[in-house]
Structure 1
Amino acid sequence: LRASSSGTSPRSTYIRNRCPPSRGMWRILPCFDEIIARANAIIAPYSIDVKNVAWHSVYEVGHRLTDAFDDTDETDSGSPCPRVFITGDACHTHSAKAGQGMNVSMQDGFNIAWKLGQVISGRSSTELLRTYSAERQVAAKNLIEFDKEWSTLMATPQEELPDKTYLEDFYVKTAEFPAGFMTEYTESMITTPTTHQELAAGFPIGKRFKSARVKRSCDANFIHLGHEARADGRWRVYVFADQAAPVVDGSAGGGGTAGGSAGGESKVAALAAWLESDPASPLVAYRREGEDPDALVELSVIYQQEHKEFAFPDVPKVFRPHVGAFDLEYVEKIYATLPEEDIFEAREISRDGAVVVVRPDQYVSGIFPLDAHSEIGDYFAGVFEPVK
């Protein structure tokens, strides 16, 4: 036996014993006397007298990653749809630092949960389930690589770091990663290419929808747009309007009290008409009998005008659907910009407008121009099953 300062923290002390030597493995046991002495040194001039150690445990960092998150062979395109799924620590193990295990594991669960719900309810084909392992395997691999660097830094004595604030600076610089905000899904049946990314550069396709503040039209409340989404299995379509004033019928001046500064034809009104009635619209093609219009896809519209420049009756009806048992007009998804905190500037959204599609787990699936009706229809046709 010999004392060793190996471990995940420069203040951890262990006795390391090879057991058994032929397998080249190490058993790590705590050295109680040294731990108690270290504790007394920390709390000096006070001290504690430990009579008995009733319980102890040792945590060893093990970086492990599973081959796949389901029971299919990814190399065989003809393999049956996956039936068994694993999440969290069953897939990836790493250090307990930075809260990354909880954040990443919960995202594993959220990812498979909404997909299972959508398949079981008949909304999507079983092909959707194949995207789970494909997406989360990469996220877990990136996590392990990050944690190897992070845990190594944690175990490095401060005097061996480049400077005193190196560890702190690294933590701040990479804080979004363990929080789960740096995950970026690649192109798939639910993630489009980045063809139209420039229309909303602040909402990277494949990454988490990043919220910003807006003002709700119906009550002038300041709202964080992303915080309004609920974990209810629905998709979100955010329509960021062009500069035309809000109108109902598609032409400037046709919307009651609207007083927007920009005139011209409204692409939002044209999009609204398509969403409301076209057979290829996701609100029409996949809506089941008796369902509310927003049962599967929830629409929100964000205008460039301030809230005093228009009233919600000026907005196309598709954005204020009648829902619920009493068929009430729902007007809480109509927003205006804040002059001092313009979401179009904050998220680099084109003044020509954009349509941002967000999946149930709050990742951006695609971005489209306001007049790309057929592209939007084709996208959802690849996600949803037709109503039978």
Structure 2
Amino acid sequence: MFSAHPTESGDSDDVEGVDPEEFQQYFITQGRFTAGVATIYAPSMITAEAMFQHLAEGFPVGMRFHSAPVVRLADAKPVHLGHVARADGAWRLYIFADQKDPTGGDSHFRGLCEFLESDASPIKCFTPAGADPDSVIDVRAVFQQGHRDLAVDKMPSVLLPKKGKLGLVDYEKMFCPDPKADDIFALRGVNRETGCMVVVRPDQYVSHVLPLHGHEALADFFAGILIDAE
């Protein structure tokens, strides 16, 4: 299609040419391929079976993490979720919260964060002593509520890690839907009622999708690929 010459409008006799409108539509449809991010990795040690893909249909397991616009909770700054992660070799755990109040005790999001703060957490198991708490597994959360409806200081400590020589709090781990753009939950097909976890490899490819209550499955996945901290 790239090498063929464009046809004139209504010229059905030019069988070797390409209709410009057809070419444009095909280019849009194949956008991820032309951008070089259409690779799909098969299941392996670092790419799980897509058992819970229905919880986040827009984040296919084995494919590049597809970014979306969000608003950072701490300062209401519009950002792209996929652009906030640095190329630092860390795994990303994106927690898409359920509909319940994330500060309430009956929230599955809250239960997951309590697990991640416990001694059984893969963060505690695989982060070397003295390293920043997000240096191996970087946890980030996306809420369904607006950024004006949530209080940063009431969030779990796993989303407010103290880092660096001075132990300063990192407030840039939490995000909300951008009111001026498409809602990320709708845009990426994330189940609003249950929420989910999306595990992303250091190379930004989706490694696993799990329900928020899948604590043991999350720990088992990381135990199969990471080395215990000493």
TM-score w.r.t. length of structure 2: 0.89
Residue in 1 aligned with 2:222? 380
1: CA distance between counterparts of 2:202 and 2:174?
20
Residue 233 (1) aligns with residue 86 (2): no
5 Å-filtered alignment, 1:209-288, equals 209-247=65-103, 251=105, 265-279=106-120, 281-288=121-128
Label 1:213 to 1:172 Cα distance change in 2 as closer, same or farther (>3 A): closer
Partner of 2:9: none
The Cα offsets for residues 255-312 of structure 1, whole Å up to 9 and x where unpaired, read as xxxxxxxxxx111111111111133x22111111111111111110111111111111
Q: 2:143 aligns with which of 300, 303, 306?
A: 303
Q: Distance in 2 between matches of 1:371 and 1:268?
A: 8
In 2, the alpha carbon distance for the partners of 1:331 and 1:371 equals: 25
* C-alpha separation in 2, matches of 1:336 and 1:156: 46
Question: Which residue matches 1:289?
Answer: 129
Q: Closer, same or farther in 2 for the Cα pair 1:173/1:161, shift >3 Å?
A: farther
Distance 1:285 1:199 in 2: 27
**Number of the residue aligned with 2:158:** 318
Residue pairs, 1:112-261, within 5 angstroms: 153-156=1-4, 159-161=14-16, 163-165=18-20, 166-247=22-103, 251=105
Q: Which structure dedicates a bigger proportion of its chain to helix?
A: 1
Query: CA separation of 1:164/1:346 partners in 2, compared to 1, >3 Å: closer, same or farther?
Result: closer
Residues 131-175 of structure 1, C-alpha deviation per residue, up to 9 Å, x if partnerless? xxxxxxxxxxxxxxxxxxxxxx44446544364325454434323
Counterpart amino acid of residue 332 in structure 1: E
Cα deviation, residue 246, structure 1? 2.3
Q: Which runs of 5+ in 2 are unaligned?
A: 7-13
User: How far apart are the structure 1 equivalents of 2:2 and 2:100?
Assistant: 54
Output the TM-score relative to the length of structure 1. Answer: 0.54
Q: CA RMSD in A?
A: 1.7
Amino acid at match of 2:202: P
Aligned length: 220
When Rg is computed on C-alpha atoms for both structures, the one with the higher figure is: 1
Provide the identity percentage.
40
Q: 1:285 and 1:220 mapped to 2: Cα distance?
A: 33
Considering Cα pairs closer than 8 Å and 6+ residues apart, tell me whether 1 or 2 has the greater RCO: 2
How is 1:40-59 mapped onto 2 (pairs within 5 angstroms)?
none
1:19-98 matched pairs, under 5 angstroms: none
Q: Which runs of 5+ in 1 are unaligned?
A: 1-152, 252-264
Matched, 1:332 2:172: yes
